[in-house]
Amino acid sequence: MASQGIPVLILKEGSRRTTGREALRTNILAAAAIAEVLRSSLGPRGLDKMLIDSFGDVTITNDGATIVKDMEVEQPAAKMLVEVAKAQDAEVGDGTTTAVVLAGELLTKANMLLEDNVHPSIIIEGYRKAASQASKLLNEVARKVDAQNTEALKEIAKTALSSKIVSSGAALDKLAELSVKAVLQVQEKQDDQLKIDLDNVKIEKRKGESLLDTELIMGVVIDKEVVHPGMPKRVENAKIALLDTPLEIEKTEITAKIQISSPEQMKAFLDQETQILREMVEKLAKVGVNVVICQKGIDDVAQHFLAKKGILAVRRAKRSDMEKLARATGARIVTNIDDLTPQDLGEAQLVEERRVANEKMVFVEGCKNPRAVTILVRGSGEMVLDEIERSLNDSLNVVRNVVLDPKIVPGGGATETYLAVKLKEFANTVGGKEQLAVQQFAEALLVVPEVLAETAGLDTVETLAELKAKHESGKTSYGIDAVSAKITDMFEAGVIEPLRVKQQILKSATEAALMILKIDDVIAASPPKPEKKGEGKEGGKEGGFEGGGMSGLD
């Protein structure tokens, strides 16, 4: 037939298509490459990465989520692992590096099965069964903990911080303690359910002093200064008004003109404005206000009257700071001064303007039972401060996770080794080629203790063999203490992690691996061609009208 041998084109010219095993192999290699980048940053002895963006800004970190976000990954399959890190960070705030490394290892093991001609569908089903069984086993190895026991919570925070910039010493203890205090302070019960919103823990960073000078403020620190030099810079037993309305004469919404024909009329007009502002300040003073935090502007004349009344005022505060102040002081944000009552005022033992690192800040502290607090972080430079903030976010999240779900598992690769040993036993109960997938899933889990052994300078083969032997003999909480480079009981060593984090790691890593394994066809559209200069729509004729076609409507 004449039509035989003629190719049928269904894709746009310039499109690229990769199919079958080649598409799968390319995706697996790309995802594994991302995991390989993060591999050496896992654990207390993990190393940092230096990331330089297109503007030349430098970030030094070993935080998995930050690394993959700043890498500007282009390959679509590799982007899936970036999404894994983001999801892990958003959900539980820790374990991002482990999730990406585990997903990469699951794909590497799957690639070995593909080379042995095991079909992707069989691998996917085997991985699903293994992940389901691993989730059950996690609950078996988990221990309950007192969610209000500060010492236990400190150990959990220390484990999260041990892989960060503050991996040991007094700084580690200090940040762990601050994290626990902050989380316990902002917890609250709503409808018989415990809720913790970490947005209520504000982190303010200032260069100077040392990390040991970082402090927890039982209140809110505002990055503003007192608006008028004549105002007090320190107010004790503060009665605070939070205003979401300007202390200014409001302009009319419509354009208006005022006809003034004499100096007396001008003076009367200005006197009227002054009187309105004076009445606003009188109202505040009458209610008992001695501190005003305003989200909007404060007129110069109003500043003068506030200063005469001895009222400390701050203007143009952020909305987020206003909400935190309301939670910390018990004040209500008022949108109309006429509605202000003594019951709307917040209370604090002290409101004071202080100079921190050559910048003025207003401290609202000593609140009775604040539901919002501030951690003022000190450090030698911007990069150090940024890394401490990331470290604090991780420790705050793990403490929150344990308070909300008070179950812990051993760290140091102990949990992963336990799951690997038990899944290999489980594999014997699974029939057919799926058994091979379950076994490879178990092998992939051992990547965590393997990397911990590597970064601690141990012989990985000997260490893994010894660790597996311990677990097979029933010592299920034994793992690698990377700091002392020994195999020991993780519960006794205080290396513990929240069950929630481990569960999320398993879910995120497995889902990403399965999604990539299901792809057998990659169709990439051709990039858009740049428009030539002078060419517009419809051959350079706007709207498709011929030149002069609208002349009758002029």
Catalytic residues: 63, 96-97, 394
- For 371: left if phi > 0, alpha if psi spans -120 to 50, otherwise beta; the answer is alpha
Q: Look up residue 515 and give its two tokens.
A: 């999604």
Q: Look up residue 506 and give its two tokens.
A: 């398993």
For the CA atoms of the chain, what is the radius of gyration?
31
Contacts 24+ apart (CB under 8 A), 504-507: 504/88, 504/91, 504/92, 504/95, 504/99, 505/88, 505/95, 505/98, 505/99, 505/102, 506/102, 506/131, 506/134, 506/135, 506/138, 507/131
Distance CA 38, CA 476 (A): 27
Neighbours of 368 (CB within 10 A): 12
Q: Which secondary structure element, helix H or strand E, spans residue 240, and what is its range?
A: strand 234-243
Q: Look up residue 147 and give its two tokens.
A: 């969610």
Best CA proximity match to 28, nearest among 145, 97, 123: 123
- For 310: left if phi > 0, alpha if psi spans -120 to 50, otherwise beta; the answer is left
Distance CA 236, CA 219 (A): 14
Encode 497-509 in three state secondary structure.
EEHHHHHHHHHHH
With H, G, I as helix, E, B as strand and everything else as coil, classify residue 144. strand
The answer to whether 194 and 187 have CB atoms below 8 angstroms apart is yes
- For 87: left if phi > 0, alpha if psi spans -120 to 50, otherwise beta; the answer is alpha
With H, G, I as helix, E, B as strand and everything else as coil, classify residue 111. helix
The answer to whether 82 and 73 have CB atoms below 8 angstroms apart is yes
Distance CA 83, CA 70 (A): 13
